[in-house]
Amino acid sequence: MTAPAIHRTDLLPTAMNARKEAAVRDLLRAWRRAADAVAADQWMRFFRDGGFRKNLSATHESAVPGVAAAKAEIGAQRLQMVRYQVVGTLSSFVSNRQNDFADIVGRHEGFAAFGRRAGLSDDRTKHMLRVVNKAQAWFDRSREIVMPDTGEPVPDDVRDLARRIMKHVLKQHRKPSFKRANMIIDRRQATVANAANATAFPLWLRLGALEKGRRIAIPLRSYPYFENRSGKRCQTVQVNDADDGALWVGVVTDVTKTFSDERAAYTPMRENLSIDFGLSTLIATDAGELMGRDALRHLEKLDKRISTIARHRQKVGLKVRSPRYDQAVRQLRGWLRTEINRILNRVVLLRKPAHVTVEKLDFRHPGLSKRMNRILTNCGRSVFRAKLQALEERYGVTHTEVHAAYSSQTCSHCGWVEKANRRSQSEFRCRCCGTRMHADVNAARNLWARRSCPVMGKPRRSRRAVLDEALRRFAERKPCRSPETASRRSPGRGSRGDPDRSHPEAGSGITLLSARPPDVVGVSAKQ
């Protein structure tokens, strides 16, 4: 099986005059009108035929009048590019909804709401629904879906149930909008080449305009990061309209061969590295590194600036969004992206792990405003996961998300769970065994132990299930004394307590010998 191609896009600023910029914006507006018409046509095909179509023959011409008008406006070549872009976006959206369908069928309470009304609730019905979901045959009744084990066709009542579940899923999410879509143009209408005579701009983009036979020559500004990127430059470019109104040209580079060589040269030094993400300390590892310890101070400064702008505009009766507000938010997102990428690159360079274990992220902090927490949640998760995906493509470092519940309250040495174990943001002292360490490092070590657990290793399990599993593991480890005894016989200030022998970074410590007191689980269940 051929490995998928890996591409990277570098956004280059343009230096167009007013006439060229007006021509590009006219093309962009026509492109977006065509994308809306094509999307309406593809959704009709999805519900009628059960799928999307990238290539249309003469017998499959569109029945939506807007598509014919778009073809007359932008031409057949551009309309095909628009169709490929729209189908890719809609296919990704439907793939996510397919996962939501599987979640509803997998959850007993979610499936029961639909199964009781249809009179179907057994495991065989769930298996049939999964087969229909895998074939994406929720609405296409012309295809016969057969079971892979017995060869029997899926009954009509199960097909009807699958259609109702998928309709319910689609109602919970808005369909993709193309009113702000950017252009993805191949070499038939756009070419990037080095400057022939000009010296101020090293690259020029020749873009086809709406007028037949006219080409727009767009000068591009370069920068060292783009010039040092190794790989093969593709013949496809992007024309992006940024939030601030500026036009950027995205030059696509095929880095498949480069990343393949880097993966072959990468030699892991350890099997797994666990990372605890926070805002007071941006990243803590189970090996003891604390990186980004001034992150919260910088976020508070940005939060004060954004909140001040929003409060002032609301006070005078204006909308919050303004050029100044948008610039402050872009500065926050840019800083967060740069900091996360820098730290993760540093961690991989120092520790060289083969696998990374992280918690299911929740970018929030009680000391920040609701507005700042909302921005961090929307931006931080996507940036962190995108960087993990980039590390996997470049170095082959895989990653796993585990449940984060009670990781900051659980002792990584004995497993005792109690809210009072974490006395402050940075101080952790177990009330059962007396272990002391930095709270974020302790949380990272708990994530290290959860990666192979069938309960705590699944982010979608309930918090109660995670707590029950933690208590069961604590009972099996048989700590030496009760929390009350530990509070009277805790180590002196500065002692780190007994390290966890199961962790690769742990040192020597005292072996726990005596049995667990009978009242320990009862005390923890109240926390």
| Highest-pLDDT range among 173-177, 296-300, 450-454, 512-516 | 173-177
pLDDT tens per residue across span 55-112: 765 445 666 778 899 999 999 999 999 999 999 999 999 999 999 998 888 775 556 6
Q: Is residue 160, in this structure, part of any structural domain at all?
A: no
The pTM of the full predicted model, rounded to 2 decimals, is 0.76
pLDDT score, position 114: 63
Q: Is residue 229, in this structure, part of any structural domain at all?
A: yes
Cβ neighbours, 10 Å, residue 417? 26
* HEC readout, 393-423: HHHCCEEEEECCCCCCCECCCCCCECHHHEC
> Dihedrals φ, ψ of 493, to 5°?
-60, 135
pLDDT score, position 460: 75
Mark whether 296 and 346 lie in a shared domain.
yes
Mark whether 273 and 394 lie in a shared domain.
yes
pLDDT score, position 485: 47
Question: What is the number of structural domains in the chain?
Answer: 3
pLDDT tens per residue across span 378-399: 788 888 889 999 999 999 999 9
Q: Is residue 112, in this structure, part of any structural domain at all?
A: no
- Cα separation of 166 and 486, whole Å? 54
Mark whether 517 and 428 lie in a shared domain.
yes
**Residue 469 in this model has a pLDDT that exceeds 80:** yes
Q: Is residue 334, in this structure, part of any structural domain at all?
A: yes
Mark whether 379 and 483 lie in a shared domain.
no
Q: Which residue has the higher pLDDT, 117 or 168?
A: 168
pLDDT score, position 116: 55
Q: Is residue 312, in this structure, part of any structural domain at all?
A: yes
Range of the domain at 426: 419-525
Tokens at 322, concatenated: 């303004």
pLDDT tens per residue across span 348-357: 999 999 999 9
Length of the chain: 527
Which of helix, strand or coil describes residue 347?
helix
Mark whether 504 and 448 lie in a shared domain.
yes
Q: Is residue 169, in this structure, part of any structural domain at all?
A: no
Q: Is residue 114, in this structure, part of any structural domain at all?
A: no
Domain boundary among 350, 367, 402: 402
Cβ neighbours, 10 Å, residue 325? 17
